[in-house]
């Protein structure tokens, strides 16, 4: 009897752990670039357009991927210091009558560019790839110091409902670098 309860407990724990791993979200590949003391971030979240996102896109609802790009400095004693934070987003709306997607990329709620396409693969790339997003802090970077760029993704609306009461990122990524002057 005791062995059976233990086996049921182990199976339940493994199922919960598998569900947690499935909920982790898309991996975002981040590439920082430092030019003349200014920091830029390029990133791609290739796995962000999953089955739920495709279902929302094809329904004609406005799908928004909001990325929070942060320049941070690691700290050994306390929490890491956030030097700057910049929201960028990509939106897509599918016109069900014409079969054309309207995609826009925004920085701080201002449209940077907007394009149309009927090719879903191209739309996925536009939604998940950003090049050279400027994220320089107001103060100059300290020479020979370690920094990192963190990108977090939040998709809205969601295709599924979660019973988890706290919000979570739909994807994240990080890249470390040393500023050498």
Residue-wise pLDDT for 87-122, tens only, equals 999 999 999 999 999 999 999 889 999 999 999 999
- 145-171 average pLDDT score: 76
The mean predicted confidence, pLDDT, of the chain is 83
Burial (0-12, 13-18, 19+ Cβ within 10 Å), 147: buried
pLDDT at residue 13 in the model:
36
Report d(CA 134, CA 36) in Å as an integer.
12
* Listed residue (175, 169, 144) closest to 71, CA to CA: 175
> Is residue 132 predicted with pLDDT exceeding 70?
yes
Report d(CA 157, CA 151) in Å as an integer.
19
Domain locations in the chain?
25-179
Of 96 and 11, the structure prediction assigns the larger pLDDT to: 96
Q: What is the pTM of this model?
A: 0.79
Q: Is residue 101 within a helix (H) or strand (E), and if so which, with residue range?
A: strand 100-107
Report d(CA 21, CA 27) in Å as an integer.
12
């Amino acid at each position: 009897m005791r062995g059976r309860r233990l086996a049921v407990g182990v199976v339940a724990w493994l199922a919960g752990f598998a569900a947690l791993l499935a909920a982790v979200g898309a991996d975002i590949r981040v590439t920082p670039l430092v030019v003349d003391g200014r920091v830029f971030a390029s990133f791609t979240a290739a796995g962000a357009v999953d089955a739920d996102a495709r279902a929302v896109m094809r329904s004609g609802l406005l799908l928004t991927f909001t990325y929070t790009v942060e320049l941070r400095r690691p700290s050994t004693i306390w929490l890491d210091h956030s030097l700057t934070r910049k929201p960028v987003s990509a939106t897509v709306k599918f016109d069900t009558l014409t079969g054309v997607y309207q995609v826009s990329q925004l920085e701080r709620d201002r449209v940077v560019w907007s394009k149309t396409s009927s090719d879903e693969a191209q739309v996925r790339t536009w939604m998940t790839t950003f090049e050279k997003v400027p994220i320089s802090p107001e103060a100059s970077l300290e020479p020979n110091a370690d920094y990192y760029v963190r990108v977090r993704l939040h998709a809205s609306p969601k295709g599924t409902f979660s019973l988890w009461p706290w919000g979570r990122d739909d994807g994240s990524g990080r890249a470390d670098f040393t500023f050498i002057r």
